């Protein structure tokens, strides 16, 4: 297994921005594959088997889905600077809140007509209709906060984050960043993209300064890669990351399963269960172009269904 990192993403994805910032924080070099914003995504599907969320991290023929798992993989590859400081045990919990509650408050607020016009400036109307139809099915199971309610709730969240920073600390849990900083920052990054609505952040000077610091970290060392080349990387890979099925977790190795997120983007990925721990699910599948691939999911937020043989 090599350490060559391939990120499948697109510029406007908030969760991709979270991952790009983490890559920058860790000073990692990575290859960038730009994927379509809507289905179909044939080259990405060859690798994932149908997983729809963005981004996806590829290392040879191992495909990592969901940023909750992706950041853990990057932490293993580059432990310092850490995303999980020992003196910030609640950072992962705040990150999970930001990736769910804060995200699904910030996005509908930002996509009000004035905000959407700024975010999608220059995008043809017909393309916007295609995007809207795609996202209607993709996010059908997601929680939705009406913009008028969301604006009030965001102000409450911002006031609490401002108070957390009130002692002069540079980051949310002290003087170094944690995963919480990047999970909160990508939500606020999206609000800033909705320029006519970004004024909601202005009363919170410490929070705004903190956001400037996090965004200034940048994205690391990026080079471009074509999606067909990424498939070739998987097809020519020699082996996979180690994966074992831990006993006592409800499933046996080698059985046919499907795995899907249970909140939104719930399209299942089918294959053979080859890895299972309290933290990770690994499914083996074969694609005619990508070859034998292992698709990895975090255990939290995903469910396994054993299929009939």
Domain parsing of the chain, residue ranges? 6-81+222-306, 91-215
Task: Provide the pLDDT for residue 190.
Answer: 98
Contacts of 42 (CB under 8 A, 6+ apart): none
In CATH terms, the fold of domain 6-81+222-306 is Glutaredoxin (3.40.30)
pLDDT beyond 60 at 305: yes
How sure is the predictor about 136, in pLDDT bands with cuts at 50, 70 and 90?
Answer: confident
Q: What is the mean pLDDT of the chain?
A: 96
Tell me the mean pLDDT in the region 225-236: 98
Tell me the mean pLDDT in the region 5-27: 98
How sure is the predictor about 144, in pLDDT bands with cuts at 50, 70 and 90?
Answer: confident
Three-class SS of residue 63?
Answer: strand
Tell me the mean pLDDT in the region 200-209: 98
Please tell me the pTM assigned to this model.
0.96
pLDDT beyond 80 at 59: yes
pLDDT beyond 60 at 292: yes
Under 8 Å between Cβ of 34 and 226? no
Task: Provide the pLDDT for residue 139.
Answer: 85
How sure is the predictor about 77, in pLDDT bands with cuts at 50, 70 and 90?
Answer: very high
pLDDT beyond 90 at 309: no
pLDDT beyond 60 at 209: yes
Task: Provide the pLDDT for residue 12.
Answer: 96
Other beta carbons within 10 Å of 114: 13
Under 8 Å between Cβ of 262 and 53? no
Burial of 68 (0-12, 13-18, 19+ CB in 10 A): buried
- Domain 91-215's class? mainly alpha
pLDDT, tens digit, for every residue of 165-178? Answer: 999 999 999 999 99
């Amino acid at each position: 297994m090599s350490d060559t990192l391939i990120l499948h993403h697109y510029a406007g994805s908030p969760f991709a921005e979270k991952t790009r910032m983490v890559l920058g924080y860790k000073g990692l070099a990575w290859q960038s594959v730009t994927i379509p914003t809507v289905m179909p995504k044939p080259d990405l599907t060859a690798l994932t088997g149908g997983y729809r969320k963005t981004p996806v991290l590829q290392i040879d023929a191992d495909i990592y889905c969901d940023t909750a798992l992706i950041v853990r993989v990057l932490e293993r590859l580059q432990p310092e600077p850490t995303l999980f400081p020992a003196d910030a045990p609640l950072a992962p919990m705040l990150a999970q809140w930001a990736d769910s509650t804060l995200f699904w408050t910030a996005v509908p607020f930002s996509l009000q007509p004035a905000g959407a016009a700024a975010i999608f400036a220059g995008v043809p109307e017909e393309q916007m209709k295609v995007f809207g139809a795609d996202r209607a099915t993709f996010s059908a199971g997601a929680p939705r906060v009406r913009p008028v309610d969301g604006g009030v709730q965001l102000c409450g969240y911002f006031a609490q984050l401002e108070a957390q920073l009130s002692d002069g600390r540079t980051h949310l849990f002290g003087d170094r960043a944690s995963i919480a900083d990047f999970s909160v920052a990508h939500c606020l990054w999206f609000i800033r993209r909705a320029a006519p609505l970004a004024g909601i952040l202005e009363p919170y000077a410490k929070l705004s300064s903190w956001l400037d610091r996090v965004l200034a970290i940048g994205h690391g060392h990026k080079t471009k890669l074509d999606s067909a080349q990424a498939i070739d990387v998987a097809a020519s890979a020699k082996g996979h990351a180690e994966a074992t099925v831990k006993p006592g977790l409800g499933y046996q190795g080698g059985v046919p399963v499907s795995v899907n997120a249970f909140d939104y983007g719930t399209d299942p990925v089918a294959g053979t269960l080859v890895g299972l721990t309290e933290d990770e699910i690994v499914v083996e599948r074969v694609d005619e172009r990508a070859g034998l691939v292992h698709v990895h999911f975090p255990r939290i937020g995903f469910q396994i269904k054993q299929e009939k043989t």
